[in-house]
Amino acid sequence: MADSADRAVRKLPALRGKTVVNLFFEDSTRTRISFEAAAKRLSADVINFAAKGSSVSKGESLKDTAQTLEAMGADGVVIRHPSSGAAQVLAQSGWIDAGVINAGDGSHQHPSQALLDAFTIRQAKNPGTSRGLGLDGLRVLIVGDILHSRVARSNLWLLHTLGAHVSLAGPPTLLPLGADDWPARLYFDLDAAFDEEQPDVVMFLRVQQERMNDAFFPSTGEYARNWGLGADRYRALPPETLIMHPGPMNRGLEISSLAADSPQSLVLDQVANGVSVRMAILYLTLAGEAA
Ligand code: CP
């Protein structure tokens, strides 16, 4: 797929006349801006709503907020919310007729991130993509704060569905109950995971300190030593092992600058692909039968 940013004419008319509302109850840089860029490249109008500074602070409910925005003409709502299940409630409640897209709900799911990650892996591992849609046999190791990570959950299920072999590594305090039942091997020792898995791709997760109301690890120094992609671990990686991180990164904690800025890093490819993948999501959700 050619990146729309590479085209001579960036804008396509596919969603002309449609309005997309970015309904964000949690902070975001990549997801919100890339959905905005994607909608604009498809010629949609975009309204950005941030809970901070809105009437949510006066107690307005999700239902009233969504209905208010729909009354102003929203055809599609891209929602990020701190509560797991919020996007599903909005989509299934019947409160609004607009199409609903989940841009991250609590620690539950972040489907557009998983789609852009899978696309980025496929693009990097299969340039020219003669291998179809699958990621058959590719070994992906996801590391860190699995407990709080919607990115890990969405990636696990999508990558597994596409044929990748997924493994998870993290401190026992940051692996959720029930992870034993997931289609992934679990490791409590990162170096053992590297040795045994020989991953093609390693995905380091952000330590989500804003969701931690307890001490999940003794210190940031110990976390970085045991679970971070520091300089020594980075230098020990085979040069073909690809490094991913959904962002935002805690540099020096889960990933060193040496690794994040290395030629093996796909971090900025993930961001760039986010716009194209979100264009596809918006198009498929909103273009309707006329498309
Ligand atoms: N990866 C991701 O969701 O980043 P943002 O929180 O900046 O949107």
On whether residue 225 sits in a domain, the answer given is yes
Q: Quick check: is 162 in a domain? A: yes
How many structural domains are present in the chain?
A: 2
Q: Supply the pLDDT for residue 4.
A: 62
Q: Are residues 168 and 57 in the same domain?
A: no
| Residue 172 within a domain | yes
Measured in Å, residue 221 CA sits from the centre of ligand 1 at 24
Residue 49 lies in a domain: yes
Amino acid 19: pLDDT: 97
Q: Which domain holds residue 146?
A: 111-260
Q: Which pair of tokens denotes residue 175?
A: 């692996």
Nearest CA to ligand 1 atom 3: 31
Query: Do the domain assignments include residue 282?
Result: yes
Answer yes or no: do 116 and 228 share one domain.
Answer: yes
Distance between start and end Cα atoms, the chain: 19
The pLDDT assigned to 196 comes to 98
Q: What is the pLDDT of residue 214?
A: 77
Given a contact cutoff of 8 angstroms between Cβ atoms, the answer to whether 119 and 273 are in contact is: yes
Residues 54 and 120 in one domain: no
Report CA dihedral (25, 182, 212, 244) to the nearest 10 degrees.
Answer: -70
The answer to whether residues 42 and 74 belong to one domain is yes
CB contact set of 218 (below 8 Å; sequence gap of 6+): none
User: Contact, 74 vs 19, CB < 8 A?
Assistant: yes
Q: Is residue 43 part of a domain?
A: yes
Q: What CATH number should be reported for the domain holding residue 188? A: 3.40.50.1370
pLDDT, one tens digit for every residue, the chain (291 residues): 456 667 777 799 999 999 999 999 999 999 999 999 999 999 999 999 999 989 999 999 999 999 999 999 999 999 999 999 999 999 999 999 999 999 999 999 999 999 999 999 999 987 655 555 679 999 999 999 999 999 999 999 999 999 999 999 999 999 999 999 999 999 999 999 999 999 999 999 999 988 877 788 889 999 999 999 999 999 999 999 999 999 999 999 999 999 999 999 999 999 999 999 999 999 999 998 554
Burial class (CB in 10 A: 0-12, 13-18, 19+), 1: exposed
Residues 175 and 53 occupy one common structural domain: no
Co-location of 254 and 280 in the same domain: no
Question: 35: CA distance to ligand 1 center in Å?
Answer: 11
- Cβ 270 vs Cβ 248: under 8 Å: no
Q: If residue 23 lies in a helix (H) or strand (E), which one and from where to where?
A: strand 19-24
Q: Does residue 221 sit in the same domain as residue 208? A: yes
Distance 102 CA to ligand 1 centre (A): 12
How many other CB atoms are found less than 10 A from the CB of residue 234? 21
